[in-house]
Amino acid sequence: MAADLKTLKVLVTPTSYGKTDARLFTVLEKSVGQVVYNPSNRPLTSAEVRELLPGCDGFIAGLDVIDRAALEAADRLKVIARYGVGVRYAQAYLESFYAGFGFAREGAPYSEDGIAHVLMWRLP
């Protein structure tokens, strides 16, 4: 039986989470019961991850140290996901290439270092 998402607690540690799209905060916070964010502006140590993991059902991980010591505190953890999975910032000329792998463009192209790029999401 699937858990009601509103009963779940999710830890989010990437320092770049939501920096290019603030909707990530809104969507996650509306979807689950509680979200715990990285309290620092850097990847977390094993001890810091260990302190935040108890009671978390999900963990959207950044570049933190995730070792045995940290995971021993994960009393409810069901999934660890690496932030950015399914998201691709692609040079615009590669849009059709990535579309062949299930990615779809969102929004207008933007310029990065004088090169046109597009934000692409992997569709479920």
Whether the per-residue pLDDT at 10 is higher than 90: the answer is yes
Average pLDDT, the chain: 87
Q: What is the DSSP string of 59-118?
A: EEE-S----HHHHTT-SS--EEEETTTTEEEEEGGGHHHHHTTTEEEEEEEEEETTEEEE
pLDDT on residue 3: 64
Average pLDDT for residues 29-39, to the nearest whole number? 96
Domain 5-82 has CATH 3.40.50.720: yes
Q: Where are the domains of the chain?
A: 5-82, 87-122
Whether the per-residue pLDDT at 86 is higher than 80: the answer is no
Identify the band that residue 30 occupies on the pLDDT scale cut at 50, 70 and 90: very high
Query: Residue 117 in contact with residue 91, Cβ under 8 Å?
Result: yes
Whether the per-residue pLDDT at 5 is higher than 60: the answer is yes
